[in-house]
């Protein structure tokens, strides 16, 4: 599986830590960092759009910003993208099971690194349930 990850300045430190951790925990996942490259102020939409443009097929994405609202809104402008703003492991589970989320949006200023790691693990390990949820997901794209 290919994973595209991106953040703005508020999510930069957590993004870098998660990348290092994921390389150890999920060695079979190929991670491609789409920016940003420092904690200097930048525009979240630039990185959200870049990640969203790359998430196709079986690939997935992770986006981080302060609240995760901005990156989620920007990413969800792209057809086929289902970016889910998650703040607990349970929400991340439901985002995968019921919504077939393909981008996990993490509010770096509001969750701990341990919660972020738990959400990432859940995001990779939870399958989409399909069934009654499939027809609902099909209605997302206009």
HEC string of 29-89 equals: CEEEECCCCCCCCCCHHHHHHHHHHHCCCCCEEEEEECCCHHHHHHHCCCCCCCEEECCCH
Q: How far apart are the two ends of the chain, measured CA to CA in Å? A: 27
Q: Is 98 a catalytic residue?
A: yes
Among 80, 90, 87, 85, which Cα is nearest to 137's?
80
Identified catalytic residue from 36, 42, 49, 65:
65
- Euclidean distance between CA atoms 106 and 87, whole angstroms: 7
Residue that has been written with the tokens 């919660």 in this structure: 115
Q: Is 65 a catalytic residue?
A: yes
Q: Could you list the active site residues?
A: 65, 98
């Amino acid at each position: 599986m290919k994973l595209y990850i991106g953040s703005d300045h508020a999510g930069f430190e957590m993004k870098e830590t998660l990348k290092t951790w994921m390389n150890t925990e999920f060695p079979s996942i190929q991670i491609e960092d789409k920016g940003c490259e420092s904690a200097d102020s930048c525009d979240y939409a630039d990185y959200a759009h870049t990640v969203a443009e790359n998430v196709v097929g079986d690939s997935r994405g992770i986006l981080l910003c302060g609240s995760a609202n901005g990156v989620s809104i920007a990413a969800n402008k792209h057809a086929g993208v289902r970016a889910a703003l998650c703040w607990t492991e349970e929400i991340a589970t439901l985002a995968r099971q019921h919504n077939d989320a393909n981008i996990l949006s993490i509010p770096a200023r509001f969750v701990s690194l341990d919660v972020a790691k738990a959400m990432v693990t859940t995001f990779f390990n939870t399958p989409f349930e399909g069934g009654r949820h499939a027809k609902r997901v099909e209605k997302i794209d206009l």
